[in-house]
């Protein structure tokens, strides 16, 4: 994509949805649920230039994939054609709790 061409609102919306679709293919290795449904993704920002910023957390600061998971997220988001850059920011504020999981994730884990 040419850097001179800005994305329309519709294209930015579609890119945001595509990013979420990609995030739903990435699983926490300890819990058989994707990181989006687990509630690990706090925010996805898409710019007119096709830059993507993902704000996410981990189930704990001592998570065994603390080093590799953000890299995996970044690499998979970069596979979307119109993404120019992808950045993943890890935060522990607010800390992740099981309450952040989607209803679908809780059902899958038998937590009802």
User: Cα–Cα distance between 73 and 83 in angstroms, integer?
Assistant: 13
pLDDT tens string 88-103: 999 999 999 999 999 9
pLDDT tens string 44-97: 999 999 999 999 999 988 888 889 999 999 999 999 999 999 999 999 999 999
Q: Which helix (H) or strand (E) holds 83?
A: none
């Amino acid at each position: 994509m040419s850097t001179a061409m800005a994305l329309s609102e519709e294209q930015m919306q579609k890119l945001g949805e595509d990013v979420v679709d990609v995030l739903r293919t990435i699983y926490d290795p300890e819990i058989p649920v994707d990181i989006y449904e687990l509630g690990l993704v706090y925010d996805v920002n898409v710019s007119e230039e096709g830059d993507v910023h993902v704000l996410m957390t981990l189930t704990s600061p001592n998570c065994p994939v603390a080093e590799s998971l953000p890299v995996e997220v970044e690499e998979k988001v970069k596979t979307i054609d119109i993404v120019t850059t992808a950045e993943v920011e890890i935060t522990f504020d607010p800390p992740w709790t099981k309450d952040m999981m989607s209803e679908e994730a809780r059902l899958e884990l038998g937590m009802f």
